Homo-oligomer: A and B are copies of this chain.
Amino acid sequence: MPTSETKARDLAERRRLEIVHAAFAEFAERGYHNTGIADIARRLGMGHGTFYRYFANKRDILVHVLDHTVDRLRAVVARDAPGAATTLAEYRAQVERIGYAMFDLFVEDPQLMRMCFVEPMSVDAELAERVLATHGAMSALTEEYLRNGVRRGFLRADLDTDVTAQAVNGMVIAAGLSLLRTPADRERWVRAATALMFDGIAGASAGGAEPAE
C-alpha cells in the first residue's frame, strides 16, 4: 500500500532517471560541452527550470550519467563471479562470455564508451581522476580473475596480475573505440582478443614463457 509520499518519491526517482537518459542521449550526440541544459529539457518536453529541481547543476547530471553508465558496465563484468572457473577451459569460456557481453553492450550503445571514458575526462581534474579511478577499479576486478587463475594453477605462476589486468582492460577499451567508428564482427573480435590474451601472438613452435634475452 504505497502512501502518497512514497508515490511522489517514486515519481521523482523516475523523473531523475528520465533526465539521466535524456542527458546521456544528448551528451552522446553532441558532447557534454556542446549540450545545453535547454537541450536536455527540450528532449523531454519540459521547461529547463525543471531540470534544476532534480540536479544541482550541469556537472551534477554528468556525474550521474557517468555513474549510471559505469554501473551498466560493471554489471556485465561482475555477472560471472571471479572465482567460478576451476580449469583453463572454463576460465577461457568465462572470459569469452564476458567478452561477448561487453561487445554486445558496446554494439547496443556505442556511445557508452564515450560517456564513461571520454566526455568526463575533459570537464575538470576531479572528474578526470574519477574516470581514471573507475578504470582502475575495473582493472582491479579483472585482476581478481587473473589472481584466481594463478591460484588455481592454470595461469602462468609468474603473471604480473596488476599490469596484465590493465593491459587486458586496454584491449576492451580498444574494442569500444573501434566500435565507435565501424561496426565489427563480434565473433572475430572476441576470438582474436581471447587468443591474444591466452596464447599470445608467438608462433606455437617458437612459444616460450620466457622473454627474449
Which of A's residues lie within 8 Å of B, judged by CB? 30-34, 88-89, 92-93, 96, 114, 118-119, 121-125, 128-129, 132-133, 135-136, 146, 149, 153-157, 159-160, 163-164, 166-175, 177-178, 180-181, 184, 188-189, 191-204, 206-209, 211-213
Evaluate contact between A200 and B191: CB separation under 8 angstroms. no
Evaluate contact between A181 and B211: CB separation under 8 angstroms. no
**What CA separation (Å) do A204 and B92 show in the bound complex?**
15
Evaluate contact between B180 and A168: CB separation under 8 angstroms. no
* Residues A207 and B199 in contact in the complex (CB < 8 Å), given A172-B170, A180-B132, A212-B88: yes
Taking the closest CB of chain B, its distance from the CB of A211, in whole angstroms, is: 6
Residues in B whose Cβ lies below 8 Å from that of A146 = 201
Taking the closest CB of chain B, its distance from the CB of A140, in whole angstroms, is: 12
Question: Which listed residue, B128, B191, B202, touches A211 by the CB 8 Å rule?
Answer: B191
Evaluate contact between A209 and B201: CB separation under 8 angstroms. no
**What CA separation (Å) do A185 and B123 show in the bound complex?**
29
Cβ contacts A to B, 10 pairs, < 8 Å? A30-B125, A92-B211, A114-B128, A156-B203, A159-B192, A159-B195, A164-B196, A166-B174, A173-B173, A199-B207
Evaluate contact between A196 and B168: CB separation under 8 angstroms. yes
**What CA separation (Å) do A122 and B127 show in the bound complex?**
14
Residues in B whose Cβ lies below 8 Å from that of A194 = 211
